[in-house]
Structure 1
Amino acid sequence: MAATTSTPSPYTTPISAQPLGGSNPPAWALVGFRDDGEREPDRQASPATAPTAVTDVPVPVSPASPSQPPKMSSPQDFTFLKELGCGSWSTVMEAVHRGTGKRFAVKILSKAQLIKQKKVKYASVEKDALAKLSGTHPGIVKMYAAFQDETSLYFVLDLAPHGDLADLVKKQGSLSLRCARWYTAQIVDTVLWIHSKGIVHRDLKPENVLLDPDMRIKLTDFGSAYLSPDGDLSPRASTFVGSAAYVSPELLNRASKTTSNSSDFWAIGCSLFFMVAGHPAFAAINDYQSFRKIEALDYTFPEGFYDSAKDLVQRLVVLDPSERLGVEPKSSPAELRAHAFFTATSGDTDTPIRWDTLWTDPPVPPETGIVQPSGSEPEDEELWDNVVNEFSLVNLRSPLHAPQHGGPLEPADGVSFTAPEDVPPDVRPCEVAETVAPDKPEPSASADTSPEAAANGGLTDTEAATDGDLDDPVLKEKNWSNILSHGETISSLAAVTTSVRKGLLKQPRPCALLLTSRSRLLCVLLDDKKPPKPSDIKHVLELRASGKKLACTADSAQRRLVVHMGDKDYVYEFADETTASIWAEKISSMLAV
């Protein structure tokens, strides 16, 4: 790539001269985390208690004196409304400031979890980065205060009412060319600004790009950032930071493990791919597979991917950090801004990006691109109704299982109800096969339930086995969300035994067999002590998109299910012959579609 003479950066303009709107956070809020002892005696926080969300109720407002900034030094200065998001050691909540009535996002970091997970430095880095950047650029989330109490650290930040860019793409399916151009331009402009301030974000991804009331971006989550003491952002050794699908290949290089401002340009290219394609470029079943795809530059553009966007992705998603568009000295930020993706138009009503008025031009409304939305997700109330209904259907049985004691919480008419267990996100209760064979006499309603049947949720051992081992305690208490892709649910679930390699030899081991809503058959190694993780997946069979000849049979005599894929057979042994037959029918019907 030919070197290009760099034009003067627009970021040399003094901050005070830029019409960015709002004001910088007061100096008292940014000097450090305030200590509990600095508060007035009548404002002491209740010990070891986290803020509790409340319903929308009128919040008393106490106007601050014109000569003093509003107090933001303790949780008691806010009324917390609802949770906006959560992570391993932090929770973000919407809150109303009692002194002004203004709404903010308050990020709450657990001290205990930060220490336990050895992430204390991330909180300090985030505070220092936000203190340096807040109020300097419209594309960066603003921090108004940082304080602490006995259990937590608090950041008071801009509220982004429209969620994040990842949510927008999922809702739209994908973004149109002009919409993706507009958001990418804002990300580029913001990233170039933080680089000019000696900061590399290092965890740039659509989930960390928030959307303000005008649907403009606010870059957030600087916990993984690198703050250069001298402004030098050239490659340097780094520990692993970032997210699997967006991490740059130089950080995966075992010999060097370096990062630089070029890592952010890689992430911009990956984010643009996600906006246009509707899915990450290096998506895989687990992080390890994503890393291998990144190292091999193994990704493909879907049909209809916009040509100018494809060219920009190809010039940013480059294995050699020095060869990426916008990275000096071989390229420059000016060359990046001048790329055809930003300067060309897609129609009569479209306009190229005007960098000098990017943050004041009218926003581009969300538009669906080459991938249509999959359908609106149900509201919480509707989702809960569905969950309760499906759990009720799980134990719809004969009068044998009618409630024996009665009570206000027990349904009538001979229907027993088992209280729902905790359900992982995006996972619905499994479908249940019929448990009573046609030629088997149904027990009378007055029959006593045996202790063994009670332990199986009201089913006998035979019935429980016929039901696909859904009441097996090992399977009931597992959280399967770690091994499912976004939006994927479990259609059927059963305990099986199959040969799994351990060392140099294969031997029969207990596994779970999952049939999912995306026509996938997963065989997952079971561990009684730990929840399933991606590395426990031993087989993944794509039933409808494998490109190989598939067939499925049941060996009822030996209770075995055999799935023929190409020239290889996968054999799963069930606890009884009925379950194997049911699974064979389900898979065969799916293959026939």
Structure 2
Amino acid sequence: MESSGKIVMGRYELGRLLGKGAFGKVHYAKNLQSNQGVAIKMMDKEKVLKVGLSEQVRREITTMRLVEHKSIVQLHEVMATRSKIYFVMEYMKGGELFEKVAKGGKLTEGVAHKYFQQLISAVDYCHSRGVYHRDLKPENLLLDENENLKVSDFGLSALSESKRQDGLLHTACGSPAYVAPEVICKGGYDGAKSDIWSCGVILFVLVAGYLPFQGLNLMEMYRKIEKGEFRCPGWVSQKLQKLLYKIMDPDPSKRISIQKIKESTWFRKGPGDTLTVKEPSENITTNAAPALGVRRKKNNQEDQKQLVVTNLNAFEIISLSTGFDLSGLFVEKENRKEARFTSEKPASAIVSKLEDVAKALNLRVRKKDNGVVKMQGRKEGRNGVLQFDSEIFEITPSYHVIKMKQTSGDSLEYQKLLDEGIRPALKEIVWAWHGDGDQQVHQA
């Protein structure tokens, strides 16, 4: 639809052309409801079907819905007409990392270090979800307005279920200059290890300004890749050279793992001697302290009197009831990050138990003025530091609802903490868990 010379597609107003490929093009667009800028990839259905890429498109949609990470381009939604398929994605103002290297040449080790940490964080996260990208290269690494790297284009990705009985992948794919030697050999290969190789080639290109494996023709380049024949330029630090040779080891069984990469000196410290560790937030205490979801005064003798929990009216009680919870209409079940339980214990007993659990699970506690307390992990996880809010609601003086909601970090790590740590530890005070498909009732 056209309005005042502008093309409007549903709630999106189409803007300038960002790029063009063999099967479609990418436009900048604006969400008319939120005013948010997005990128819309338009693909011609007939061309996709003609060259047999329909399975690849389905795979990309499935994969991008599985991965939600700060260093991965997000897929907002997919639309389709009789002739077109539209991918509405996060808009990356900084463009391709490839363009940055092509125009400016090699990057400093400091800048390359920042991008490589973000790349490894994203790839590690994908592997934890059983997703293997298989086409990692600078053209598929985009930069946002703050020059942060995000991985895109999962069209050639594979899932764990794609493995054959030998536990390996067998489809040879990827870009020749970045593909691992075991993929070239057309035998079975480990998707995680082949992705690690590609990350090494990318890192080399960032600091050298050229490809590590070159030849007069493709066969000569492949021969060098199979033998791992490359030489680091003299300006690359010894620590980084050591890491590059471990990443681009042609023997996948000897190739360094992502965990070992993250433990390496260069990855942790970068080109200088300063550790790249995030400073803790100002309000985080070193010991698990005040109660979850309640307000407490410092005077321990008056604790029970000073507890202030949220009283619920009838409408709020209904909204917390599983039968009236409508969030499932808008959010897929596996992506829900909220858990609720009821307790017949007094608020003071709930608070005491929650404090014990925080200490036992080595969690930091940060108190907020509105009676909500954030519990936070002490280490960086696959998707940042795990954090969740907890709040106690009073139905009657002897009956409470406690709501826990993840606010940041990795959802699988949160679910594991909830299932293996929090639920068992709270068993004595929980009457029933709610909203997770199967209510778990405990008779105190």
Residue from 27, 52, 62 that aligns with 1:128: 62
Whether 2:220 is the aligned partner of 1:297: answer no
Deviation of 1:94 (Å): 0.9
2:208 corresponds to which residue? Answer: 277
Residue from 21, 25, 30 that aligns with 1:96: 30
* Whole-angstrom CA distance in 2 between matches of 1:291 and 1:235: 25
SS at match of 2:266: helix
* Whole-angstrom CA distance in 2 between matches of 1:346 and 1:149: 51
Residue from 107, 119, 140 that aligns with 1:175: 107
1:85 corresponds to which residue? Answer: 19
Distance 1:154 1:107, change over 3 A: same
1:258 corresponds to which residue? Answer: 189
* Whole-angstrom CA distance in 1 between matches of 2:165 and 2:260: 19
Whether 2:275 is the aligned partner of 1:352: answer yes
Deviation of 1:320 (Å): 1.4
Deviation of 1:145 (Å): 0.6
The residue identity in structure 1 corresponding to 2:135 is D
After TM superposition, the score normalised by the length of structure 2 is 0.58
* Whole-angstrom CA distance in 1 between matches of 2:245 and 2:211: 14
* Whole-angstrom CA distance in 2 between matches of 1:323 and 1:234: 19
* Whole-angstrom CA distance in 2 between matches of 1:138 and 1:100: 20
Contact 2:163-2:169 within 8 A present in 1 as well: no
Distance 1:125 1:301, change over 3 A: same
1:473-517 Cα offsets, whole Å, 9 max, x none, are xxxxxxxxxxxxxxxxxxxxxxxxxxxxxxxxxxxxxxxxxxxxx
Contact 1:59-1:96 within 8 A present in 2 as well: no
Contact 2:71-2:118 within 8 A present in 1 as well: yes
SS at match of 1:95: strand
Residue from 243, 250, 256 that aligns with 1:325: 256
2:418 corresponds to which residue? Answer: none
Contact 1:272-1:309 within 8 A present in 2 as well: no
Contact 2:6-2:14 within 8 A present in 1 as well: no
* Whole-angstrom CA distance in 1 between matches of 2:146 and 2:171: 36
Residue from 25, 45, 49 that aligns with 1:115: 49
Contact 1:91-1:108 within 8 A present in 2 as well: yes
SS at match of 1:301: coil
Deviation of 1:75 (Å): 3.0
* Whole-angstrom CA distance in 2 between matches of 1:345 and 1:225: 30
* Whole-angstrom CA distance in 2 between matches of 1:179 and 1:58: 42
* Whole-angstrom CA distance in 2 between matches of 1:288 and 1:112: 34
In structure 1, the gaps of 5 or more residues are 1-44, 46-51, 61-73, 327-332, 358-593
Matching of residues 55-94 of structure 1 within 5 Å: 75-94=9-28
In structure 2, the gaps of 5 or more residues are 281-444
The residue identity in structure 2 corresponding to 1:324 is R
Contact 1:234-1:261 within 8 A present in 2 as well: no
Distance 1:314 1:110, change over 3 A: same
Whether 2:134 is the aligned partner of 1:202: answer yes
Whether 2:263 is the aligned partner of 1:338: answer yes
After TM superposition, the score normalised by the length of structure 1 is 0.44
Deviation of 1:249 (Å): 0.8
* Whole-angstrom CA distance in 2 between matches of 1:300 and 1:90: 39
Deviation of 1:227 (Å): 1.2
Length, aligned pairs only: 280
2:117 corresponds to which residue? Answer: 185
1:143-168 Cα offsets, whole Å, 9 max, x none, are 11101112111110000000111111
1:386-433 Cα offsets, whole Å, 9 max, x none, are xxxxxxxxxxxxxxxxxxxxxxxxxxxxxxxxxxxxxxxxxxxxxxxx
Q: CA-atom RMSD, angstroms?
A: 2.8
Whether 2:75 is the aligned partner of 1:143: answer yes
SS at match of 2:65: helix
Deviation of 1:294 (Å): 1.2
Runs of 4 or more, structure 1, over 4 Å off, are: 57-60, 230-235
Deviation of 1:217 (Å): 1.1
* Whole-angstrom CA distance in 2 between matches of 1:137 and 1:234: 30
1:226 corresponds to which residue? Answer: 158
Residue from 147, 163, 173 that aligns with 1:215: 147
Contact 1:95-1:105 within 8 A present in 2 as well: yes
Distance 1:259 1:151, change over 3 A: farther
Deviation of 1:314 (Å): 0.4
SS at match of 1:186: helix
Bigger radius of gyration among the two: 1
